[in-house]
Structure 1
Amino acid sequence: LQGRLPGIKVKYLLVVWLGIFVGSWVAYMHYSSYSELCRGHVCRMIICDQYKKGIISGSACKDLCEERGLLFQHCLSSSPSQQVYRGLWRDREVIIKCGIGEALRADSRPDSVPRRDVVLFDKPTRGTSMDEFKEMLLNFLKSKLGDQPSLPALVSRIITMADVNRDKKVSLAEAKSIWALLQLNEFLLMFSLHEKEHTAKLLGHCGDLYVTEKIPHTSLYGVDVPPFLQSLLPSLAHQLIHQWFAPAWPRRAKIAIGLLEFVEEIFHGTYGSFYICESSLRNVGYNDKYDFKM
């Protein structure tokens, strides 16, 4: 028995060493993936650099760049070029979204810095009159939403949002910021549907970074199965998990009714018809009152 102990100890050491190696590899891969996807510091650096130069403006700029009142907390990004963070602003949980794809080096390394030669906010140009800017907006909306009779009203709302300091004028920085935001399909859709109770509310912006309310429940079911388990679990197990963690039937019915109301609103909406291209469970949420949110 004593003669076998050294061999057993060696086996234990090998197992421990293998466990440490695998754990270190998993930790390294997790860190590499996080560093690749989560670049909130780059987003803040780009936006604040443009803000300090007077190129952009917005209702969230001062809190983001001067007072540090808009905080990036938890990374939710699924792509390096589109940064999504859960954050805190004015004692309220929010979602922060910022695109940095055009501002990174071609090699897309995690430690890469913004290219100085990239112009993120090039329109409208200096010397553009208010009437010309309104015409730009109207033509842009027609190309995106079709020739709707309600578009002039939407242009007026855009001008109102762009006027951050409420002086009834739109500065060049304010115009550049709102124009950059409108190039984002998600922002344009959210802005067009602002009157609908089933869409997240826009809370502020700075350049092409914008802040929305945080939806308490971002999935139709109460628990998300980790991706590595989804392929291992049989369909019956998925159904059981959904049944266990989903809201009660009356609450699910309320969410479903909200979804039907939302579809009716966007199909023949004020600014044209919209279509839901991606309706997976991860894109369907609800608030604490079980009101549907998209």
Structure 2
Amino acid sequence: MRRRKKTRSLLGIILEKTLNIVKQCENLTNEAIILCAAGVVFVFVFAFAIWRITLSDPCDGSNIYHSLCQQYQAGEIAGRLCYTMCLEQEDLFSYCLDDDGNTKTFLYDQSIVRVNYTLISHGDPDLSLQEGTTVLELRERMNVYLLQTQGHSSIDLLLRLLEFSDFNHDEKISLGEAQSIWQLIHIPEFLYYFIFQKSLVFPHLNATCGSMYAFQYTPHINLFDKTKTSWFKKVFTNSYKWNLPAWPRRAKLSVGLLEFVMDIYEEYDNRYLMCDIGPDQFGYTKNHDLLVADVSGIVSMKKVEWYLRNLTCGSDSQCMYSKQCFSQCDVDAGQCSGKVVRPGLWFVCDMLQDYILFDAPRYLYFDLKRLLNRCASLDARRDGIDIEHAILQEDFKSVLWNEIVNSPLI
């Protein structure tokens, strides 16, 4: 908030100077008045630009600030970001990136700050805990919620969530801390970022305040985009490849994709699938380190299998959770098998066809093509698929790393 106070002072000075210029213009000749008026217009436009950039509030940042700090001071929420915002008076909301009405996104100090505006402004009785809620009660509530949404829970994950909720590290969990973690785990993006915090390809969670959370900023928000249509792209169908990073950097990002598949394969004794996978689900840093940009397609395998097993069918086309997560139909039984046909690596390899073969070193092209062909034959229903999956992933990583480890671009 300090920046806004300084800006208001600056605008006051500009206004005062503008009024002085207007007074001086009254006694000038016609030609001079025109020049003077032009100067006043310039100053006005400059002042408006300063106001628009620093004082306008397109994402309701001031309302978010007052609501959260009021709840923080009342002990209803907690978090390190609360201290930064409410006590250190840091302005977290001066740069609005996106506003879809319900969710508002800001950029602050190389972090994305994400806010569920409806929850903060109106609250949700189901996400409010009663005074006197014990740690055991909170743990049981979280356990039930994870079982319902993920199809699985684990003691390790619950203990990590409870440890994270002790924001002031006093080995006690206050009502504000309990209520904050309870609200946060109801946000799928936060929950998946938390579950996969050990993975280098998931953005790092930096801090929270109630249901507001900050995580690592991803400068480049997708690997490539071949969906945009224009007359130019109709003539040059591969023009989207012209702006791709140099091949060694794409190789490094491809290794990140392969690691991503294994990172979500099994975590806390629960397997996860990427049921919506494409180049717009991944971004990367300025050092070309892969980061997941969209977790909406990540789903627990148990949840997918439960959904598919409860579908009746007459053909395979009726056994779909998504285009990437589907099973076969047992026509005799009229029931979907529930066994997902394609593993995640199959879809990553399908994406790499467009990404890693383009402009690859000639002596490496056929090795990459051979690996991609092996990948295209993966079938999750086969015996030994776990071992086959792991071996192929390691073979792919080995070929890529051996080529790029000494590259001057990495």
TM-score norm. by structure 1 comes to 0.72
| Higher mean C-alpha deviation, range 181-190 or range 246-255 | 246-255
Query: Aligned partners of 2:145 and 2:199: how far apart in 1?
Result: 22
Q: Going by fraction, where is helix more abundant, 1 or 2?
A: 2
Aligned residue among 105, 121, 133 for 1:128? 133
Query: Aligned partners of 2:251 and 2:267: how far apart in 1?
Result: 24
Query: Aligned partners of 1:178 and 1:238: how far apart in 2?
Result: 48
Contact 2:157/2:268 (8 A) holds in 1: no
- Kindly indicate whether structure 1 or structure 2 has the higher relative contact order, using CA contacts under 8 Å at least 6 residues apart: 1
Query: Aligned partners of 1:205 and 1:235: how far apart in 2?
Result: 46
Structure 1 counterpart of 2:216: 213
Structure 2 counterpart of 1:140: 145
Contact 2:222/2:279 (8 A) holds in 1: yes
Aligned residue among 172, 177, 182 for 1:179? 182
Structure 2 counterpart of 1:94: 111
TM-score norm. by structure 2 comes to 0.53
Query: Aligned partners of 2:126 and 2:151: how far apart in 1?
Result: 25
- The one-letter amino acid of 1:169's match is K
Say how many residue pairs are matched.
238
The secondary structure found in structure 1 opposite 2:162 is helix
Query: Aligned partners of 2:213 and 2:253: how far apart in 1?
Result: 27
Query: Aligned partners of 2:268 and 2:229: how far apart in 1?
Result: 40
Structure 2 counterpart of 1:167: 170
Query: Aligned partners of 2:213 and 2:255: how far apart in 1?
Result: 29
Structure 2 counterpart of 1:16: none
Q: 1:257 to 1:235 in 2, by over 3 A?
A: farther
- Structure exhibiting the larger radius of gyration computed from Cα positions: 2
The answer to whether residue 212 in structure 2 is matched with residue 195 in structure 1 is: no
Query: Aligned partners of 1:55 and 1:121: how far apart in 2?
Result: 14
The answer to whether residue 66 in structure 2 is matched with residue 45 in structure 1 is: yes
Structure 2 counterpart of 1:108: none
Query: Aligned partners of 1:192 and 1:56: how far apart in 2?
Result: 22
Query: Aligned partners of 1:131 and 1:164: how far apart in 2?
Result: 18
Shift of 1:263: 1.5
Contact 2:77/2:209 (8 A) holds in 1: yes
Structure 2 counterpart of 1:155: 158
Q: 1:154 to 1:38 in 2, by over 3 A?
A: same
Q: Which runs of 5+ in 2 are unaligned?
A: 1-51, 293-410
Contact 1:51/1:61 (8 A) holds in 2: yes
Shift of 1:288: 3.0
Q: Which runs of 5+ in 1 are unaligned?
A: 1-30, 104-113
Which string of whole-angstrom CA distances, capped at 9 and with x for unpartnered residues, describes residues 75-107 of structure 1?
Answer: 22251101111112xxxx11100001245xxxx
| Higher mean C-alpha deviation, range 70-79 or range 184-193 | 70-79
Structure 1 counterpart of 2:8: none
- The alignment's C-alpha RMSD in Å is 2.8
Shift of 1:278: 4.0
Shift of 1:213: 1.3
Query: Aligned partners of 2:60 and 2:238: how far apart in 1?
Result: 36
Contact 1:121/1:180 (8 A) holds in 2: no
Shift of 1:54: 1.6
Query: Aligned partners of 1:271 and 1:78: how far apart in 2?
Result: 36
Question: Where in structure 2 are the equivalents of 1:1-294 lying within 5 Å?
Answer: 38-88=59-109, 93-102=110-119, 114-115=121-122, 118-119=123-124, 122-148=127-153, 151-221=154-224, 230=229, 233-237=232-236, 239-240=238-239, 242-294=240-292
What percentage of aligned pairs have identical amino acids?
A: 29
The secondary structure found in structure 1 opposite 2:206 is strand
Which string of whole-angstrom CA distances, capped at 9 and with x for unpartnered residues, describes residues 193-234 of structure 1?
Answer: 01111100001100000010112322214xx89x9x845653
Q: 1:57 to 1:120 in 2, by over 3 A?
A: farther
Query: Aligned partners of 1:72 and 1:161: how far apart in 2?
Result: 24
